[in-house]
A and B are shown apart, each in its own frame.
Chain A
Amino acid sequence: AQKITQTQPGMFVQEKEAVTLDCTYDTSDQSYGLFWYKQPSSGEMIFLIYQGSYDEQNATEGRYSLNFQKARKSANLVISASQLGDSAMYFCAMREPSSGTYKYIFGTGTRLKVLA
């Protein structure tokens, strides 16, 4: 069955440093989409970045980049130059495209704390 694994329940990073949040996935589909969302302490869910399984380039959005290693089935989020406002819960997710449906699976999340 399709699955998303985030093995880091919590992480600390010093302000202005880069940090990598791990995400591995399991799917037998060839076509799928991978996402990262941010959930600050206020509770809202914020879309950060998307990677399609056929995209050859790693996705980037400002300070966020997705390190996509298809053979290893990993989709790690890299945040460069961390800011205090990056302290939040981060979720990796996958969209299952099989049969034309759009089911989503989320990981259990990684709580990131940025230290001043």
Chain B
Amino acid sequence: EAQVTQNPRYLITVTGKKLTVTCSQNMNHEYMSWYRQDPGLGLRQIYYSMNVEVTDKGDVPEGYKVSRKEKRNFPLILESPSPNQTSLYFCASSLAGYNEQFFGPGTRLTVL
């Protein structure tokens, strides 16, 4: 089944404890992206990647890191999480130049 998977789906952590949210797609998509969704703010793009080893900042990259060492994987790294990073996070992928993004199920992160 074609899909985007994210792990974990739910995470509660404490300020400053490094964490990684994994994202993987099995559709051979070039484009992958991370978003955060907050009430009243819609989705905001954190980082995106056009292909392996090619990443770029979205609108809210502060406090996040990403890497794209393999085409299928695009992990989101929070080196030192803070409470303002409590949010619902979505990973998405698409073929380069195509219109439809496929979204993962979301990861709900709480930073205490």
Contacts and interface: CB of A to CB of B under 8 A. Distances in A.
B100 interface: yes
Interface stretch (B14-22, B44-52, B72-80): B44-52
Interface string B88-109: 1010100010011111011000
B17 to A, nearest CB: 25
Chain A interface SS verdict (over half): strand
A57 interface: no
Contact of A91 (B42, B50, B106): B42
Contacts of B105: 43-44
A54 B102 CA distance: 24
B1 interface: no
A33 interface: yes
- What's the interface size class on A, roughly? 20 to 34
A47 B43 CA distance: 14
B77 to A, nearest CB: 20
A35 B98 CA distance: 12
Contacts of A93: 43
Interface string B27-48: 0000101010000111111001
Given A101-B56, A102-B31, A50 B100 contact: yes
Contacts of A107: 42
Interface centre among A4, A52, A109 (most CB of B within 10 A): A109
Contacts of B59: 103, 105
A50 B99 contact: yes
A108 interface: yes
Contacts of A91: 42-43
Given A43-B106, A45-B90, A105 B45 contact: yes
Interface of B: 31, 33, 35, 40-45, 48, 50, 56, 58-59, 88, 90, 92, 96, 99-103, 105-106
Interface of A: 4, 6, 33, 35, 43-47, 50, 52, 91, 93, 101-109
